[in-house]
Amino acid sequence: MKIAVINGPNLNMLGDREQDIYGNKSLEDIAGELKETFGTHEIIFHQTNDEAKLISILHDLNTTVDGVVLNPGGLTHRSVALADAVKAVSYPVVEVHMSHVLARENYRKRSLVSGACRGTISGFGLNSYALGVESLMLLLNR
């Protein structure tokens, strides 16, 4: 199975940024652990701060992956365009968040992107990624 893990704005700062919320591992560390855990599968990793690139990556993957794990970062709450992109592709997309967005500021409680995804996993720190990949495998019956 081939799965893309796509990360939005500021996730390149993981390990550095607000460690009490996001922990001290970098995105590279997470990618490494994921690849180890799901060794028999192909895991692609993307990060960009750019909404337009996220949209284009989603479009371009349309025939090449079995599913996507998406951490939209701060675009979660506002981006109709990203939600539309999720609806425009045919593979399943699972939304993940490291922090528990529903327990944070009010403006983080609303997700425009969630409604377009198959499911949401929120609050498990770096484990949110592993659970996201796992959830896709379950959805696709592995």
By CB under 8 A, name the binding residues for a copy of itself.
8-10, 12-13, 16-18, 48-53, 55-56, 59, 62, 73-85, 87-88, 100, 102-103, 107-112, 114-124, 127-128, 130-131, 134-135, 138-139
**CB nearer to a copy of itself: pick between 3 and 122:** 122
**CB nearer to a copy of itself: pick between 70 and 135:** 135
Q: Classify burial at 137, counting beta carbons within 10 Å of its beta carbon; exposed 0-12, middle 13-18, buried 19 or more.
A: middle
User: Tokens representing 105?
Assistant: 């500021």
Q: Which helix (H) or strand (E) is 80 found in, with range?
A: helix 80-88
Shortest distance in whole angstroms from residue 79 CB to a copy of itself: 7
Q: Which residues contact 27 (CB under 8 A, 6 or more apart)?
A: 7, 11, 12, 14, 15, 45, 47
Q: Classify burial at 30, counting beta carbons within 10 Å of its beta carbon; exposed 0-12, middle 13-18, buried 19 or more.
A: buried
Shortest distance in whole angstroms from residue 70 CB to a copy of itself: 13
Rounded CA separation 81/113 (Å): 9
Look up 22 and say whether it is catalytic.
Answer: yes
Look up 97 and say whether it is catalytic.
Answer: yes
Shortest distance in whole angstroms from residue 135 CB to a copy of itself: 5
**CB nearer to a copy of itself: pick between 3 and 55:** 55
**Residues with active-site annotation:** 22, 97
